[in-house]
């Protein structure tokens, strides 16, 4: 959210908050010895006595990966003002299958380019964020996202 707020307002205070939040996250929430992330810690960074586990009904390892992925995308697109790449291994049972690859809801973020099995692929909708796939198994797809200026 802080990176989104920075993108909307351009106020560097949100980047400062993001950096401080990221420092706290890495120092206190990440279990560097046994890995993964605690779902709850105190203000001083002590894991909650009742939460020595790292997953619960509302938090699983998926969320740690999602956090990393979204931070990568927002930092590349909104802070560094560079493109971001996503890689997929997809299969399509029939020619013409529509597959959405744009995972950011911002309409300013578009697909700038696509490669399928290492070759340029033109069958995609930049604004809507989907590809039209050929029939095939284990299609290696590289998607480049950018921001409309």
Residue with tokens 């998926």: 62
- CA pseudo-torsion sign 32, 77, 104, 145: negative
- Tens digits of residue pLDDT in 113-122: 999 999 999 9
* Rounded percentage of the chain residues whose pLDDT exceeds 90: 78
pTM score of the predicted model: 0.88
Burial of 130 (0-12, 13-18, 19+ CB in 10 A): middle
Q: Inter-axis angle of helices 2-9 and 61-74, to 10 degrees? A: 20
Q: What is the pLDDT of residue 61?
A: 83
- When pLDDT is averaged across residues 58-69 and rounded to a whole number, the result is 88
What does the domain layout of the chain look like in residue ranges?
A: 2-79, 84-147
């Amino acid at each position: 959210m802080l990176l989104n707020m920075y993108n909307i307002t351009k106020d560097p205070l949100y980047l400062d908050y993001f950096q401080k939040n990221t420092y706290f996250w890495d120092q206190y929430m990440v279990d560097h010895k046994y890995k993964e992330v605690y779902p709850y810690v105190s203000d001083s960074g002590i894991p909650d006595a009742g939460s020595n586990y790292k997953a619960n009904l509302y938090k699983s390892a998926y969320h740690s990966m999602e956090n990393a992925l979204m931070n990568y995308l927002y930092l590349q697109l909104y802070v560094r003002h560079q493109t971001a790449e996503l890689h997929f291994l997809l299969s399509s049972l029939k020619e013409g299958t529509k597959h959405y690859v744009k995972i950011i809801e911002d309409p300013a973020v578009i697909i700038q380019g696509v490669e399928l099995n290492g070759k340029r692929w033109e069958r995609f909708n930049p604004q809507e964020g989907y590809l039209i796939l050929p029939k095939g198994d284990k299609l290696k797809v590289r998607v480049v996202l950018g921001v409309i200026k």
